[in-house]
Amino acid sequence: MCDFAADSEAARQLLVGRVLTVERVRQLNAKDYFYQMLKDNPEMLKIYPGIENELLKGATDCHIHAAPDFVYRSQDMIQVAIDASKAGMRALAFKDHWNISCNAAYMAQRHIDYLVEKGELTHRVELYGGMGMCFGMNAAAVRVALQYQNFKMIWFPTFTSYGFWRGAGHPEHEGIRLVSESGEVLPEVVEIMKMAVEKKVGIGFGHTDFKELLPLAKKAKELGVRATLDHPLLELNRLLLDEMKTIADLGVYVGTYCQPMIPSLYQPVADPMETINTIKAIGPERCIIGSDFGQVLHMDTIDGMRVFIRALLAFGIKPQQVRMMLQGNPAKLMWLD
């Protein structure tokens, strides 16, 4: 009996991904989970549609996927911008994994300005893009791209990152490296970071692992780079809480995005409380709210932000903390402060 009990306990503590246990999955899928969630979070009963309206006014979303892009997106930049304008948001940044997005953002801005001029919209939202580095850390290409209007973000490699493949347990996949084997940030990466500071644009550190992120964060602090971890709670580039704390202590923002807190067909097994616990442990002054939405199997971007804000409030994050993560911090990241 003792051996059976020990085996059962060991089975419950088996990991699903880096941190989620079988026991926690069982709890999340229990028949009484909904009622237990209400009991543990009585503020949830006070949440209503529109409670997020005042917090969205002046908000910045620094990480949106929209058409035109290399895959189908649920909305194009103009559609997202119209929704954001109606919500009174300050700014949006559209991400492209592979290329520049600031050129399309410029054209979308022209259209939004036209709608404001004609009186069809009453609020001007600022639209920005940047450059994704999945083709490689090409400093010469970045130098030219930074001359484009509406450029505010550089996103380091995602699906082509060596750290991504190493973190996924496949180090045999040779990807784009940001850091040498000896732990030194590569010269071309340093050059790009210096240009980001000079031109006052933010950096998203992409999909890589802690082994690369730690020296990147140290170098960012040394150079005065404003950077964020891109959705470190998403399983594809998951970080442990202690890892996120270490990097946040060096001045890098932690991206606490709609994914994976909002239930998703892209990551069906996730614990929504991890986002809450991360914000509370690290502190809202070092966290950023973003959507990371635009995927065709998600709700529309601004609708996602609305649900996400309601959820944060329901689980005990204070309105002033949400405002800091949604308005102040992303604006600082993009040098809009």
Residues 158-163: contacts with CB under 8 Å, at least 24 apart: 158/97, 158/132, 158/134, 158/206, 158/207, 158/230, 159/97, 159/134, 159/207, 160/134, 160/135, 160/136, 161/206, 161/207, 161/208, 161/212, 162/208, 162/212, 163/207, 163/208, 163/209, 163/211, 163/212, 163/213
H/E run at residue 80: helix 77-87
Count the neighbouring beta carbons within 10 Å of the beta carbon of residue 247.
Answer: 27
DSSP string over 111-149: HHHHHHHTTS-SSPPEEEEEEE-TT---HHHHHHHTTST
Find out whether the peptide bond into 284 is cis, omega within 30 degrees of 0.
Answer: no
Angle, helix 301-314 to helix 273-282, in steps of 10 degrees: 70
Residue 310 CA: distances (Å) to CA of 43, 51, 329, 336 = 11, 7, 19, 26
Asked if 112 contacts 90 with a C-beta cutoff of 8 angstroms, the reply is: no
Gap between the Cα atoms of 84 and 90, Å rounded: 8
pLDDT of residue 9: 73
Q: What is the pLDDT of residues 215-231, one digit of tens each?
A: 999 999 999 999 999 99
| pLDDT score at 264 | 86
What pLDDT sits at residue 236? 87
| Low-confidence spans in the chain with pLDDT less than 70 | 1-7, 11
Q: For tokens 């300005």, what's the residue?
A: 113
Name the residue type at position 303: D
Q: What is the CATH number of domain 41-333?
A: 3.20.20.140
Locus of tokens 């520049």 = 100
pTM to 2 decimals?
Answer: 0.94
Q: Where are the domains of the chain?
A: 1-40, 41-333
